[in-house]
Amino acid sequence: MNKNLLTFASANLLTFAGALGALVFLIIAWSELGGVVVVLFATFIVVSLQDALHGRVIVLSFLPGILLPVFYFEVAWEIFVPVACAMASIYCVIRAFQGWRVLRPDVVYFGLGDVLGLPFALAVVQVILPFWGLIIFAASCAVELPIFLRKKQRRFLPWLCPPIVTAFIIAVIV
C-alpha cells in the first residue's frame, strides 16, 4: 500500500474523530451551560479563526455577540464597555501616530477586530465561568505570553483562544 495514501487516510480519520469529539463536547456544553453561552463562545472562535487565517476580521462576525447585552447586561456594561473604550483609545493613538508618520501607515498594528475582540473575550469568559473565568483567562495568558512574544508575526485574537477554551472546558467539567 502506498505510504502517502496511508498517511492521508490516517490524517482524515484523525480529523473526523476530532470533529466528532468536538461536536459531542459542544452538545454536552449546550446542555450544561446553555445555548447563549455556547453561541457566544462559538462566535469568538469564528472571529479568532478569521484573524488567524486571513489577518482580517469581518465586523459582522460579531453580530451574534448582540446576545451578550441582551442576556448578560451587567457583564456587558461592567466588562465589555470599559475595556472596549480603552482599546478604542489605543486604536485612535496608533492611527494618529500612523497619520503623523511616526508609525508606518501601510502596516496594520491594531485593527478594529482587536478593539472588539479583547473585551468580547473577557466578557465571554466572565459569562462562561463567573469570577473564576477571569482568573483562568489571566493565568492561561500568563503561561502563553513567553511563546507569544517570541513569534515574529503576532495575531492578537488567536492567542486569546486557549484561555477561552480552557475556561470553557473547566466550566463544562465543573
CA–CA separation, 48 and 35 (whole Å): 20
Residue 40 has pLDDT above 90, yes or no: yes
163-173: pLDDT as tens digits: 999 999 999 99
CA–CA separation, 99 and 115 (whole Å): 19
Buried b (16+ CB within 10 A) or exposed e, 27-60: eebeeebeeebbebbebbbebbebbeeeeebeee
> Mean pLDDT, the chain, as a whole number?
88
34 φ/ψ sector (left φ>0, alpha ψ -120 to 50, else beta)? left
- In this prediction, residue 113 carries a pLDDT of 85
Percent of the chain residues topping a pLDDT of 90: 54
Residue 154 has pLDDT above 90, yes or no: no
Residue 11 has pLDDT above 80, yes or no: no
Q: pLDDT confidence of 127, banded at 50, 70, 90?
A: very high
At a CB cut-off of 8 Å and minimum separation 6, what does 72 contact? 36, 123, 127
